[in-house]
Amino acid sequence: FEEADASVAAIVSLYGIFDFVNRNLTRPDWRVIPVAVMKATPAEEPELYRLASPIDHVRQEMPPMLVVHGSIDSLVPPQESRAFVEAAERVGGRVEYFEVPGAQHAFDAVNSPRTRAVVGVVTRLLEVTVGSPTPDLRG
């Protein structure tokens, strides 16, 4: 294990939160984040929220990334992902955005044509980025 390359080769984000500070007011203020996740409010620990926000860590040399979001996501609106993608593109990051028409949050929770299409897109990206998986059958 010590000799294994653990560097990140690619990132896939499905309907994620990219700005915990919520600077663009793209989503409502959820009480669960300060209570269950951060253990503090943004007013109490603004630096913690900034450190947890991927949008504050975009850089040109970040691993290639695919961002997938449903167009009618009412839990985490797609504007959250769009703002992240725009920020990554501004610094020259390798990022692709795929907005799933008519899809709600967690659209992939059920097997559907929409889910299979997204799995196909993700699989193709990973094959291009890191190569085809080769299972280790030695157990």
Which tens digit of pLDDT belongs to each residue from 3-53?
Answer: 888 888 899 999 999 999 887 776 767 778 888 888 998 889 999 999 999
Does 122 map to a domain? yes
Does 104 map to a domain? yes
User: What total of structural domains would you count in the chain?
Assistant: 1
Indicate the pTM of the whole model: 0.84
Does 91 map to a domain? yes
Asked whether 88 and 52 are in contact (CB, 8 A), the reply is no
Does 95 map to a domain? yes
Domain span at residue 84? 11-19+60-130
Read off the pLDDT of residues 101-135 as tens digits, 9 standing for 90 and up: 999 999 999 899 989 999 998 888 888 877 766 55
Does 1 map to a domain? no
CA distance 100 to 113: 12
Question: What is the overall mean pLDDT for the chain?
Answer: 88
Does 116 map to a domain? yes
Does 48 map to a domain? no
* 95-100: strand order across its sheet: 11-14, 65-70, 95-100
Does 55 map to a domain? no
